[in-house]
């Protein structure tokens, strides 16, 4: 009996030793597996603009919006309006109103009558013809507010008016007021003519024609600046 008991105790001791020896090896394998597993991928949110989201536009302006072709539709068809540079799959034009010689009052009435709907952002360029008629700044700013409201778009970008050979100082002053208006209303403001404007507010020689309008290259340059603004993730 004592011999059997001794054998049993010996067997139990051997089994316990084997189990004890095996346990650390198993943990080591599990730890090693966890350490070599690849980390979970990091997902970075992509801004809507860079992800290719579509932003429909409402365009309002005068001859420097039509490309000096008469109307917005004519300028788009001819490819001379700056808006013709905007890719239609990304920035389709929901509607608008632009006519050569238009004042901001005419733009206000025109976009109101057009009853545009579905635009995500309105782009407004106006004031050149107001200055030539002696219309005061407050009236111009009030008309721009009305244009944005009539467009029905929830977002707006006010565009600086083009350089002027005849009224460079008045043009610069109005652009400063338009920029302040945009800031106060929570809109965006850009000067698409910056590359064609001299330090004293006139047209650069390469883009000078009649002192009010510009060359096809000048309108194309403005369109590229506006496109960069839109693609830059405007709010």
User: In this predicted structure, what is the pLDDT of residue 178?
Assistant: 99
Cα 19 to Cα 27: distance, rounded to the nearest angstrom: 13
* Separation CA 220–CA 128 (nearest Å): 19
Question: Which pLDDT belongs to residue 44?
Answer: 30
Residues 6 or more apart in contact with residue 107 via CB below 8 angstroms: 60, 61, 62, 97, 98, 124, 126, 143, 147
In this prediction, residues 94-109 reach a mean pLDDT of 98
Q: Is the pLDDT score of 235 beyond 80? A: no
The percentage of the chain sitting over the pLDDT mark of 90, rounded to a whole number, equals: 71
Q: Are 124 and 158 in contact (CB under 8 A)?
A: yes
Pairing mode of beta strands 155-159, 188-190: parallel
pLDDT at 16: 44
Q: What CA–CA distance (Å, rounded) separates 78 from 183?
A: 34
User: pLDDT tens-digit profile of 214-228?
Assistant: 999 999 999 999 999
- Check pLDDT > 70 for residue 21: no
Lowest mean pLDDT among 28-32, 56-60, 89-93: 28-32
Res 110 pLDDT > 60: yes
Contact status, residue 176 vs residue 167, Cβ threshold 8 Å: no
Q: What is the pLDDT of residue 53?
A: 86
Q: Which of 168, 214, 167, 165 has its CA nearest to residue 193?
A: 214
* Bigger pLDDT: 138 vs 3: 138
Tell whether the model's pLDDT for residue 106 goes beyond 90.
yes
Q: If we measure between CA atoms, which residue out of 194, 196, 197, 188 comes closest to residue 231?
A: 188
What does the pLDDT read at residue 210? 82
* More confident of the two residues 11 and 156: 156
Asked whether the predicted pLDDT for residue 107 surpasses 70, the reply is yes
| Mean pLDDT value of segment 103-116 | 96
Summarize the confidence of residues 86-107 as an average pLDDT.
Answer: 97
For residues 112-122, average pLDDT: 94
């Amino acid at each position: 009996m004592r011999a059997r008991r001794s054998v049993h105790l010996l067997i139990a001791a051997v089994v316990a030793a084997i189990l004890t020896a095996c346990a650390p090896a198993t943990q080591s394998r599990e730890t090693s597996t966890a350490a070599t597993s690849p980390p979970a991928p990091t997902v970075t949110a992509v801004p809507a603009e860079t992800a290719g989201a579509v932003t429909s536009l409402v365009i309002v302006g005068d001859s420097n919006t039509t490309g000096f072709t008469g109307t917005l539709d004519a300028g788009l068809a001819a490819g001379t309006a700056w808006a013709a540079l905007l890719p239609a799959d990304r920035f389709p034009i929901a509607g608008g109103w632009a006519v050569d010689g238009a004042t901001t009052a005419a733009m206000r009435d025109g976009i109101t009558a057009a009853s545009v709907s579905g635009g995500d952002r309105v782009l407004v360029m106006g004031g050149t013809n107001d200055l030539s008629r002696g219309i005061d700044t407050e009236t111009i700013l009030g008309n721009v507010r009305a244009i944005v409201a009539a467009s029905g778009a929830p977002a707006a970008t006010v565009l600086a008016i083009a350089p002027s050979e005849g009224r460079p100082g008045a043009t610069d002053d109005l652009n400063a007021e338009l920029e302040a208006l945009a800031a106060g209303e929570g809109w965006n403001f850009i000067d698409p003519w910056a590359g064609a404007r001299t330090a004293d507010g006139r047209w650069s020689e390469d883009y000078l024609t009649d002192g009010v309008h510009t060359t096809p290259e000048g309108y194309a340059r403005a369109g590229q600046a506006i496109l960069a603004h839109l693609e830059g993730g405007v709010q």
